[in-house]
Chain A
Amino acid sequence: MRLSSGTKLLLPFLAVMTVFFMAPLCIALGYSFMAPDPMGGVKPAFSLSGYQQFLYSADLDGNLQWDTRYLEIIFGSTKLAVMATLACLLIGFPMAWFMATRPAHQRDAWMILITIPFWTNLLIRTYAWILILRSNGLVNRGLLETGIIDAPLELLYNPYAVGMGLVYSYLPFMILPIYSSLERMDWRLVEAAQDLYATRLRILWHVVLPASVPGIVGGTILVFIPTIGSFLAANLLGGGRNMMLGNLIENQFGMARNWPFGAAISVLLIAFVMIGLMLIARRGQGLKGVVG
């Protein structure tokens, strides 16, 4: 078979994509349609049990019963991810604005400060929050010693702690795309709006926000996808009491030894995210003349 030079140039890329992206996804998709092996792994037989378990549970007699536990976990995870993404947006936009409005030589310093947390493992950083939030942690000790409270507050092991951990972990992914949008914005547009009687708030709404839409969309995608699948924050800061989709998946491959079910949840999660992205992309097409 003769390949055109253009196709040949694509081969390394295609090889990398196949090995690192397509193959794992295909394996996950395949496993999701097989039966679980109680010792871990899968039995090579076609089965829909992975998907079935999502909506039905079997009682001792083997009868299937409608079961909403997993749907509730999906709903809870989605809610938490949406809230965390919104919080990241509300905190991240002003921070990005602050960075973008600094003089050029200061911006790089702020960039480095924003990325410093990445130099340490996420597990260690999340664990550090336990030290800060636990009953005899930094926050409680400080409040006790200043006499603001009499007894330690229950700051850990609730949905708020999980949400906070998520916001902390993924905030930079919101700040950086918005910052890059704002930095590229034509500031003369702000002057033009000022000249045309716009107040500061209206300049923000009519000029700055539209210019940062690509960054906001990018940041939202970068934050929402990892948070909905994350398990570390829920494990450590939620104490396992607030199960997220990520925890559910992790459990099926770990303790529960139900790989097909774990794979099925993963496939559903990927499908869910892909549908969302396609909707954004389609909307982006309509916005092209506006944003681009």
Chain B
Amino acid sequence: MSDRLVIQSVTKFFGSAQNPVRAVDDLSLNVRENEFFTLLGPSGCGKTTLLRLIAGLESCDTGKILLDGVDIAGLPANKRPVNTVFQSYALFPHMTVADNIGFGMSMQGKDAKDIEKATADALALMRMENFGARYPSELSGGQQQRVALARALVNRPKILLLDESLSALDYKLRKDMQIELKRLQRETEITFIFVTHDQEEALSMSDRIAVMERGRIGQLGTPQEIYHRPVSRYVADFIGICNFVAAPSLGLSESGHIGFRPEDATLLIREGQQPDVAGPIVHGKLDALSYHGAVTYYQVTLDSGETVTVADHEKLPVGVDARVRVALLPDMLIRCAS
């Protein structure tokens, strides 16, 4: 697959000249054609700024933004063939749903008949055929979200930018929209760049993820790479739960810290019990356990004084303060820079 978008050493300053803040700091990345690409990071990491730079709503101070090989960094937002789904949806309150969806095409001077047809198709794609004449204030949050999506997608942009687009929805609706977004991306074959701070959302939806850290990319890779082979403690901590203990505590003859995911360890509660796979085993005391239905988390304080979390599908017959052992899967140990 070829690159749709290439970002080359882009930097964006905010704040005053005396006290500049690098919102995006010498950042480079590539997004492929027809890819579901996610920018993931905590608030203030620069992910939304990067999205706005791509949209043209901010201008970068240095660097290039190549879309299909052409530098668009100097173009204003209305000349870029990319469209955005805003976090607040930003639907025009004085226009009907149909007029909102047709706005982009009408601004491009498209034929009224084409606009009408494309709008109807977009409404059908969103399964909102009967909502064309309504006003945004008459729609629920989820419906507004879908109109905002339709308004952007109807223009067949080269890239669709989604800025924390699901964060305003409640849990159930968000899950539905995640599936809906994946379906839309498959059906429209448009490159999606999705900004979120929700690591679960990023893992479940993305082809590739860029984890951002203070205006830079902490790691860029597939969800599996990011989850199982994080390059830094920052990335490992941001994506899911990750235990870090000093290597000597695990009986390993190396320096530094070793990380492991809760599900990559087994809690041994009986004397002499052996794990399925041989690996490092450490002793400790069970501090707390929390039952989550599909999984139960066990918090164990190791004899070295470090605290780790272990996950098991079963609710084990064990009580707080019991002596336990934690067996680690040797292949799943995470060694990364701290």
Contact = CB atoms under 8 A, between A and B. Distances in A.
Interface of A: 186, 188-189, 191-199, 202, 206-207, 210-211, 289-291
Given A194-B77, A196-B103, 15 more contacts: A191-B57, A192-B86, A192-B90, A193-B92, A194-B76, A195-B56, A195-B84, A196-B83, A196-B151, A197-B79, A197-B104, A197-B107, A197-B108, A199-B78, A199-B107
A195 B94 contact: no
Given A188-B88, A195-B83, A206 B103 contact: yes
Contacts of A291: 94
Which of B104, B108, B138 is the most central at the interface, judged by chain A CB atoms within 10 Å of its CB? B104
B79 to A, nearest CB: 8
A207 B92 CA distance: 7
Interface in B168-187: none
B135 interface: yes
B43 interface: no
Interface residues on B, range: 20 to 34
Contact of A188 (B90, B107, B138, B152): B90
A194 B57 contact: yes
Contact of B84 (A192, A202, A206, A289): A192
11 contacts: A188-B86, A188-B88, A192-B86, A195-B152, A196-B103, A197-B79, A197-B104, A197-B107, A210-B94, A289-B135, A290-B135
Interface in B34-68: 55-57
B137 interface: yes
A246 to B, nearest CB: 37
A188 B57 CA distance: 10
B155 interface: yes
Contacts of B104: 196-197
A165 to B, nearest CB: 36
Contact of B90 (A189, A198, A206): A189
A290 B56 CA distance: 29
Interface string B86-105: 10101111100000000110
Contacts of A289: 135, 137-138
Contacts of A188: 86, 88, 90
B77 A191 contact: yes
Nearest to A198: B107
B66 to A, nearest CB: 19
B138 to A, nearest CB: 8
Which of B82, B92, B151 is the most central at the interface, judged by chain A CB atoms within 10 Å of its CB? B92
Nearest to B82: A195
B107 A191 contact: no
B107 A196 contact: yes
Contacts of A192: 84, 86, 90-92
Nearest to A192: B90
B15 to A, nearest CB: 14
A290 B135 CA distance: 8
Contacts of A210: 92, 94
A189 B92 contact: yes
B55 A195 contact: yes
Nearest to A203: B78
A247 B267 CA distance: 96
A210 B99 CA distance: 14
A196 B105 CA distance: 8
Contacts of A290: 93-94, 135
A291 B92 CA distance: 11
Contacts of B91: 192
Nearest to A189: B90
B103 A193 contact: yes
The 3 closest A-B pairs by CB, nearest first: A196-B104, A192-B90, A197-B107
A191 B93 CA distance: 14
Contact of B78 (A186, A189, A197, A211): A197
Contacts of B137: 289
Contacts of B92: 189, 192-193, 206-207, 210
Contacts of B78: 194-199
A207 B104 CA distance: 13
Contacts of A202: 107
Contacts of A193: 92, 103, 107
A206 to B, nearest CB: 7
B82 to A, nearest CB: 8
A194 to B, nearest CB: 4
Contacts of A196: 78, 83, 103-104, 107, 151-152, 155
Nearest to A290: B94
B143 to A, nearest CB: 16
